[in-house]
Amino acid sequence: MTTLLIADDQTLIRTALATMLSLEDDLQVVGQASTCAEVVHRALETQPGVILLDVQMPDGGLGVDDGIEAIPHVLDVAPKSRIIVVTTFGRPGYLRRALERGAVGFLVKDTPVDRLVESIRRVSEGLRTVDPELAAASLSIGRSPLTEKEALVLAASAGGASTAQIAQSVYLSEGTVRNYLSSTIGKLGARNRAEALRTATDNGWL
């Protein structure tokens, strides 16, 4: 019997998944969570075999940006659990981030039910499962064109930080920050730094 923890901030989706998966003879839903903090608590409490984890979830006080960032926290308290990220957003960047942080599966929410069930069984047996189209897209993107400093400065620009604020946070002069941002925008073919940030994030380069 494979025990499951389902984490999704949308109640309808979470309960529908729980009801559907409970119909399988070899699957047992032992918990549900709606925030990143709650999934860590439930994982510690239930020690599930497999966790289905959404990306866009409120942190709930854990201090993380999304479900992917919560993965290491979950594995700290439930190291034997196997995590499958299930998300609406089929972005190669999300896939890369999820696998780097310890997930063993990545599926989009329009995945057929039978494939989801099969994926749960696969990861419970120690295998990996990744949406094939997303895996192909991720491989086709290639390595980041950004240098380490360019990526650092671009990441620091998140949230609309000013050049002065970025410079202060990365310990560089404002002129150097402007040069790095200009170079980054050019390399990514973006119109501005917000677009460059979005492109780099979606591709998993930050």
**Cβ 51 vs Cβ 74: under 8 Å:** yes
Lowest mean pLDDT among 8-12, 81-85, 93-97, 127-131: 93-97
Q: 70 with 39: CB under 8 angstroms?
A: yes
In this prediction, residue 117 has a pLDDT band, given cuts at 50, 70 and 90, of very high
Average pLDDT over residues 107-129: 93
- In single-letter form, the type of residue at position 9 comes to D
Q: Residue range 122-131: average pLDDT?
A: 92
Token digits of residue 195 = 């677009």
**Neighbouring-strand partners of residue 31:** 5
pLDDT at residue 140 in the model? 54
Contact 27, 1 (CB under 8 A): yes
Strand order in the sheet with 2-7: 27-33, 2-7, 50-53, 82-87, 105-108, 129-130
pLDDT at 141: 65
**Structural domains present in the chain:** 2-140 (3.40.50.2300), 148-202 (1.10.10.10)
pTM value surpassing 0.75: no
pLDDT at site 11: 95
Cα–Cα distance measured from residue 157 to residue 197, given in angstroms and rounded to the nearest whole number: 8
Q: Write out the two tokens for 116.
A: 């989801």
